[in-house]
Structure 1
Amino acid sequence: MSTAFQRDQHDVLRGFTPFPEDRAEVYRNAGYWEDRPLATILRRAAERWPDKPGVVDANGSYTFAELDARADRVAAALADRGIRPGDRVLLQLPNSREFAVAVFALLRSGAVPVLCLPGHRSAELGHFAEVSGAVGLVIPDVVAGFDYRAMAAGLVDANPGLRHVLVAGDPGPFESWSALADSAPADRPEFDVDPDQPAVLLVSGGTTGLPKLIPRTHNDYVYNATACAQACEMVHDDVYLVALPAGHNFPFACPGLLGSMTMGATTVFTADPSPEAAFALIDRYGVTVTGLVNALAKLWTQACDWEPVLPTSLRVVQVGGSRLSPEEARYIHDGLSTGLQQIFGMAEGMLQFTRPGDDVEVVATTQGRPMSPHDELRVVDEDGIEVPPGEEGELLVRGPYTLNGYYRAEEANARSFSPDGFYRSGDRVRIFTEGPRAGNIEVVGRVKDVIHRGGETVSATDLEDHLLTHPAIYAAAAVPLPDDYLGEKICAAVVFSGTPVSLAELNAFLDDRGASTHARPDVLVPMPSLPATAVGKIDKKKLVATITAS
């Protein structure tokens, strides 16, 4: 092993928290960890199903064998240009076949892809480059009027370590990504991969501060993708539609692109998730599985009333990103697909699913149960003491695919992990102990997603559940606004789908529903839409800023 290789490998481990040896041994002995590189997911698919379409987009398709060969050629070109094992490379391509090529080419060059989202801009990209020590950036040229090359120029000026900028499309002053495969040397790079080291860096989906980087190892991410596909009961004949940004954990590996590949299922990419475009793709390719955020799932359900082509082939529709109320879940189940699967989880690891065949009420009223038998869950109070079974508290987790520390983020890690390695999710939950829902989890809010009004603590999620039952309300968020008398007053930011109602009418409706008197909105703010984070969650910090600035 060369000195340069050793230096690069050592650098990628700086600021990385590995799995403790005792737990790693348990996961290996249980058969969860296979000690193989993440990129072997594609290699195995190419060996087993060489001629089957592996990835499809608006410009065509690659069979698994073609995708495998193209990834090899690009990996060789990357290595020839100086990308070394352990190097971090920011990847920000839109939903497309080339996203899949890039992921596997980077993995096979030994690099660690940092999976950025299309909506990230220079503040986030600069932060990711600085924290990760990235040496490269892979971007499109122009998407929806935004010139990524201009952004890249500024990033390079501010981050001299970004030595390689590769552009899919017109490269401008940079190098063409598309030309890499044509210029590749004959021999593909070969090197040893430690499956306990980082394979990819994901970005956190929080709404405060800049996103943190989440290291996912080869072992834990192969398991994540494989077990998710099994939880969806995916088979070789399934077709998965990537409708959300492909670099997000949900459509990437839950099961997404990677999980589908473990089963030999085809992945279809779309850059347009509108009902009209998505339904046409679902019909054309016989899409059977997809993953959606709450708002998009409701939009698709509404569109079933007017679109001429309906998504009748859908067998499993996963909905995650934010909690579905029971009313929303029943609406999607009845109007879009009886294969609704609630998924609650995070890029940090832990995943909960409802399962195919679950009773409708279980699917409507819970966010599922742990993916792995070795997922460890604790529900604790404000002092970190476990609450009695069935009671509410903050969810703490650890397991064979949950991180042990954010990447190069000591202060965040001190806040986010218990002394014995449990990740503090920040989600307030209860775990059912009796009846058909036993073992399933219900998310009741965020630990800090509360409003302190006049000495009372109001759950924003509970109020939102009430608001969403109103027939004229399409989307709603409850947020606190400062108040000299009450401390905080309750603001309901609402997107109406029917005739708008007044605050008095809304509170009369809540009164009829039996909502607590201290949980009634003080302010009603109609909005055309609610701001969202890059991963589709309502951005309450931005929402409050918008309201208070108006």
Structure 2
Amino acid sequence: MNNLRETSLEYTPWPSNFVARYKSAKLWQESILGELLKPHLNKNKLAIIDDHIGWTYQELERNSDLLASTFLKMGLGQGDKVVVHLPNCCALFELLFALFKIGASPIMALPTHRYGEISYFCEFTQAKAYIGSAQLNEQVNDSVLNQLIDNKLIKFGYTFDFNENFISLNHELKSQTDDLELLNKVKVVPSNIALFQLSGGTTGVPKLIPRTHYDYLYSVIGSNKICNINQNSVYLAVLPVCHNFPMSSPGALGVFAAGGTLVLSNSGAPDNAFSLIEQYKVTISALVPPLAITWLSAFETRKNEKNCPDISSLQVLQVGGAKFSFEAAKRVEPILGCTLQQVFGMAEGLVNYTRLNDDVETILSTQGRPISEFDEIKILDDDDNLVLQGEIGHLLTRGPYTIRGYYKAAEHNLKAFTSDGFYRTGDLVRENENGYLIVEGRAKDQINKGGEKVAAEELENYLLSHSSVFDAAVVAMPDEYLGERICAFVIAKTQLCSPLKSIDLNKFLRSKQLAQFKYPDRFEIVKSFPKTKFGKVDKKALRIQISEKLNKLSAQLSQSSIAEKG
């Protein structure tokens, strides 16, 4: 029987024959993420540093052991879900390793998430605890914690900062005597869910992606080999590290697996980043395209100045999360003096890299090839037939670190996965003769706003709940900096006493407490939507419409500017 039809399961495991195949090939190891630090404990090596503190591998291991044993005594343990809502800080990894060790599964909320998303994660997974930090935003953090507890969505509300209303992990809990004997009795199975990443899905709130210790570790170790991560590597994380890209590709976990050093910052601003690269001799960092372009422009301006920071230690700059334009890509090596590595992946699994020794054309014009020879790729046309090599089609994948189904989403899984377990990524790609992928766009109804994925349906549902909105359609509009921004087309109800205004819609959406990146950048109040021959809203026509309008406005501004100068 196909696993996707097992609707009673919270998540879909790999079929037994695939498990045997991956174990036989030594892809899946009998280890868990909580053991990553152990090989490096005798080196007195700096493992992690943020804006406030730094810890050696011994200190990070000790701190996570203490926290893990404390959690056990508080009633957290195997199978419990914990919503983790922290910025880039040492405490995040103290917490994650503690949860890995006791068999609890962190749900990796993003710093930009607010009560709308957090409450859903808690309720949907029946999470036992929420762990936040005032570093995100003291007012927001208190509001989220208070609402979760008032609505009885969690049993425990923890914070890593002092807060009179909630249990502080840095004070009351960690002042207790640790009990490593209790911790040593916990046996976590590698096939268990290690953590939940979040999809950038097209259907409302994010789907939860269950990643096991088996598959996530394999992805991390495989990435390390490709990216040449070793004990001398110093990785600067400026993207929110709860994202899959800076967490595991190879990211923070890759650094720990290799015995390197992780430098954490909550600002990717060039001056801050360049200073950290110089101070800690950073060798590798990862960015989304808009931030990479900002770095390039900033350093190009400063590189001939006397006080220009020394970033010569930087060997590799990874760029992923969205397609990096050829023109921007070819500026990386001449300006920053490092190798560009393009990364194209997804939190559901498949990760593609250009290799560090690839020729220049491959690095600049492709988004890489998969980690593993066990990654299976199909590129299909609209009728699910294989396309010819070089033709554009829908990307499907199956492999040792690509999930077989979203968490508690049996109905959606029937659409997102084929009957034989291939994941329909929603990406439109073509493959060259060397097996490298070139990303051509998205087939799914999703906006990629500088690497942040926004589901059109989620925003449409919120807009439709407005008392003055008759219909809504959300589409991507082009943006030179972010790649795409969000445009919401709205039809107002006819019986309104006064016209519906963009400012009212914006105010209404903000009352829903969504992540900042999800709010529309533009509203278009229209009388009707174009329709397809099947009577559905023609979003392709809407995308063309807004693109043409923006081009026209840009041309008018240019002509006006020329006239003023004349």
TM-score by length of structure 1 reads 0.80
Q: Is the 8 A contact 2:119 2:153 kept in 1?
A: no
Q: Is the 8 A contact 2:389 2:431 kept in 1?
A: yes
Question: Which residue of 1 is the match for residue 435 of structure 2?
Answer: 439
Query: 2:221 aligned with 1:166, yes or no?
Result: no
Q: Distance in 2 between matches of 1:121 and 1:310?
A: 38
Q: Deviations over 1:289-344 (max 9, x none)?
A: 11111111111111103343243211111100101121121123432343110000
Question: Which residue of 1 is the match for residue 289 of structure 2?
Answer: 294
Q: Distance in 2 between matches of 1:346 and 1:227?
A: 15
Find the residue that maps to 2:40 and give its secondary structure: helix
Gaps of 5+ in 2: 1-7, 303-307, 448-474, 490-527, 532-537, 560-566
Q: Deviations over 1:6-55 (max 9, x none)?
A: xxxxxxx94111111111111111111102111111222325x3x00001
**1:375-414 maps to which residues of 2 (within 5 A)?**
375-414=375-414
Query: 2:114 aligned with 1:132, yes or no?
Result: no
Shift in Å, 1:273: 1.3
Q: Distance in 1 between matches of 2:258 and 2:282?
A: 15
Q: Distance in 1 between matches of 2:343 and 2:71?
A: 36
Question: Which residue of 2 is the match for residue 455 of structure 1?
Answer: none
Q: Is the 8 A contact 2:289 2:482 kept in 1?
A: no
Find the residue that maps to 1:291 and give its secondary structure: strand
Distance 1:478 1:267, change over 3 A: closer
Q: Which amino acid aligns with 1:236?
A: Q
Distance 1:478 1:104, change over 3 A: closer
**1:364-513 maps to which residues of 2 (within 5 A)?**
364-433=364-433, 438-448=434-444, 474-477=481-484, 487-488=541-542, 489-492=544-547, 501-502=554-555
Q: Distance in 1 between matches of 2:446 and 2:482?
A: 18
Distance 1:132 1:450, change over 3 A: closer
Q: Distance in 1 between matches of 2:202 and 2:326?
A: 25
Q: Distance in 1 between matches of 2:9 and 2:440?
A: 37
Task: Give 1:118's match in structure 2, choosing from 111, 117, 120.
Answer: 111
Q: Is the 8 A contact 1:476 1:492 kept in 2?
A: no
Distance 1:342 1:212, change over 3 A: same
Query: 2:336 aligned with 1:336, yes or no?
Result: yes
Question: Which residue of 2 is the match for residue 266 of structure 1?
Answer: 261
Find the residue that maps to 1:377 and give its secondary structure: strand
Shift in Å, 1:157: 2.3
Q: Deviations over 1:130-189 (max 9, x none)?
A: 22110001100253454302211101222x251111111122311001123331433251
Q: Distance in 2 between matches of 1:261 and 1:450?
A: 33
Distance 1:298 1:267, change over 3 A: same
Query: 2:102 aligned with 1:106, yes or no?
Result: no
Task: Give 2:213's match in structure 1, choosing from 207, 218, 223.
Answer: 218
Q: Which amino acid aligns with 2:547?
A: A
Q: Distance in 2 between matches of 1:427 and 1:184?
A: 51
Q: Which amino acid aligns with 2:416?
A: S
Q: Is the 8 A contact 1:149 1:172 kept in 2?
A: no
Find the residue that maps to 1:413 and give its secondary structure: helix
Q: Larger RCO: Structure 1 or Structure 2 (Cα < 8 Å, ≥ 6 residues apart)?
A: 2
Question: Which residue of 2 is the match for residue 150 of structure 1?
Answer: 143
Distance 1:35 1:326, change over 3 A: same
Q: How many residues align?
A: 468
Gaps of 5+ in 1: 1-12, 452-459, 507-550
Task: Give 2:73's match in structure 1, choosing from 63, 68, 80.
Answer: 80
Q: Distance in 2 between matches of 1:279 and 1:145?
A: 28
Distance 1:34 1:339, change over 3 A: same
Distance 1:91 1:493, change over 3 A: farther
Q: Is the 8 A contact 2:344 2:352 kept in 1?
A: yes
Q: Distance in 1 between matches of 2:118 and 2:222?
A: 31
Q: Distance in 1 between matches of 2:548 and 2:243?
A: 27
Q: Which amino acid aligns with 1:361?
A: E
Distance 1:382 1:137, change over 3 A: same
Shift in Å, 1:205: 2.2
Q: Distance in 2 between matches of 1:86 and 1:333?
A: 46
Q: Is the 8 A contact 1:316 1:337 kept in 2?
A: no
Shift in Å, 1:479: 7.6
Find the residue that maps to 1:477 and give its secondary structure: strand
Q: Is the 8 A contact 1:201 1:215 kept in 2?
A: yes
TM-score by length of structure 2 reads 0.78
Shift in Å, 1:411: 2.4
Q: Distance in 1 between matches of 2:75 and 2:446?
A: 50
RMSD: 2.6
Find the residue that maps to 1:424 and give its secondary structure: strand
Q: Deviations over 1:194-218 (max 9, x none)?
A: 2112111111123651011100001
Moved more, 279-288 or 165-174: 165-174
Find the residue that maps to 1:79 and give its secondary structure: helix
Q: Deviations over 1:246-295 (max 9, x none)?
A: 11111111111111111111001101111111111111000001111111
Q: Distance in 2 between matches of 1:85 and 1:24?
A: 22
Q: Is the 8 A contact 1:396 1:423 kept in 2?
A: yes
Identity %: 35
Q: Distance in 1 between matches of 2:140 and 2:486?
A: 34
Q: Distance in 2 between matches of 1:125 and 1:111?
A: 18
Find the residue that maps to 2:352 and give its secondary structure: strand
Q: Deviations over 1:328-380 (max 9, x none)?
A: 21123432343110000010000000010111111111000011110000001
Q: Distance in 2 between matches of 1:326 and 1:503?
A: 28
Find the residue that maps to 1:379 and give its secondary structure: strand
Q: Is the 8 A contact 2:314 2:338 kept in 1?
A: no
Q: Distance in 1 between matches of 2:482 and 2:249?
A: 26
Find the residue that maps to 2:266 and give its secondary structure: coil
Q: Is the 8 A contact 1:430 1:442 kept in 2?
A: yes
Find the residue that maps to 2:330 and give its secondary structure: helix
Question: Which residue of 2 is the match for residue 177 of structure 1?
Answer: 169
Q: Which amino acid aligns with 1:444?
A: E
Q: Is the 8 A contact 1:304 1:310 kept in 2?
A: no
Query: 2:83 aligned with 1:30, yes or no?
Result: no
Q: Is the 8 A contact 1:479 1:492 kept in 2?
A: no
Q: Distance in 2 between matches of 1:369 and 1:64?
A: 33
Shift in Å, 1:450: 10
Q: Distance in 2 between matches of 1:410 and 1:145?
A: 38
Q: Deviations over 1:42-96 (max 9, x none)?
A: 222325x3x0000111112110011001100000000010002110111111101
Q: Is the 8 A contact 1:475 1:495 kept in 2?
A: no
Shift in Å, 1:106: 1.1
